[in-house]
Amino acid sequence: MANAVSDSTFDQEVLQSSEPVLVDFFAEWCGPCKAMAPALDQVALEMKGKVKVVKLDVDANPGVTGKYGIRAMPTLILFKDGQVAAQHTGALVQKKRLEDWINSAV
pLDDT digits (tens, 9 = 90+) for 7-17: 999 999 999 99
Question: Contact, 76 vs 26, CB < 8 A?
Answer: no
Q: What is the pLDDT of residue 106?
A: 86
- Estimate to the nearest angstrom the gap between the alpha carbon of 59 and the chain centroid: 15
Residue 1 has pLDDT above 80, yes or no: no
Of these residues, 4, 17, 19, 30, which one is catalytic?
A: 30
Q: Is residue 30 among the annotated active site residues?
A: yes
Question: Contact, 14 vs 54, CB < 8 A?
Answer: yes
Task: Provide the residue type at 91 as one letter.
Answer: A
Of these residues, 14, 33, 36, 105, which one is catalytic?
A: 33
CATH code where residue 49 lies: 3.40.30.10
Q: Is residue 32 among the annotated active site residues?
A: no
| Whether pTM exceeds 0.75 | yes
Tens-digit pLDDT profile for residues 11-52: 999 999 999 999 999 999 999 999 999 999 999 999 999 999
Domain that holds residue 35: 3-105
How many distinct structural domains can be found in the chain? 1
